Amino acid sequence: MLKSFGGGQVNYLEMPQEELNHKVHIIMGHEPTSNIPDYCNSWVSSGPVIAEKGITITPEYDDDGNIKLWVALYAGSLCKTNNPCLSAVVVLLLEEGFKLKYH
């Protein structure tokens, strides 16, 4: 069964992206610094995370064949947004956010 954001869990889409970037940085084993990559918006930053974790990203199309949303799947979690990097960040945090002392 797929989990999705909300429903008693933290809704990461309501958090500032700077906070999400910080959480991903820590989960990936990096020390907190003042220069944290923009995992939510940059393929250069999120691509290695997506590849290492095996996060699946797939477009969802509208009736005209245009990309409507980006769907990210990871270990039973699902997130749909108009930003593929953000979708990937959210599913990572849904599955691994428990590793953070405060999330």
Say how far apart CA 71 and CA 57 lie, in whole Å: 6
Phi, psi of 101 (to 5 degrees): -65, -45
Q: Which tens digits make up the pLDDT trace of 5-63?
A: 544 567 899 999 999 999 999 999 998 888 999 999 999 999 999 999 999 999 999 99
Domain boundaries of the chain, sorted by first residue? 15-99
pLDDT for residue 8: 52
Say how far apart CA 7 and CA 54 lie, in whole Å: 25
Neighbouring CB atoms inside 10 A of 28's CB total 15
**Please, which pLDDT band fits residue 99 given cuts at 50, 70 and 90?**
confident
Entry pTM: 0.87
What's the fold here for domain 15-99? Bacillus phage protein (3.30.2120)
Tokens in use for 69?
A: 């949303």
